[in-house]
Amino acid sequence: ELLTIDTDFNDYWIWRALLVNGTFRPRVVAVDFNPDLDMHVTWTVPYSPTAEWDGTRYTVASLLAYQQLGSAFGYEYAYSLEMGAHAFFIRRDLLHPEDYDLPLRLVQKESHLEDRDRRPFVDVSLHDPALQRTR
pLDDT score recorded for residue 135: 46
Say how far apart CA 101 and CA 103 lie, in whole Å: 6
pLDDT in tens, 48-58: 999 999 999 99
Say how far apart CA 131 and CA 124 lie, in whole Å: 8
Say how far apart CA 107 and CA 22 lie, in whole Å: 30
Task: Tell whether the model's pLDDT for residue 32 goes beyond 80.
Answer: yes
pLDDT in tens, 69-104: 999 999 999 999 877 789 999 999 999 999 999 999
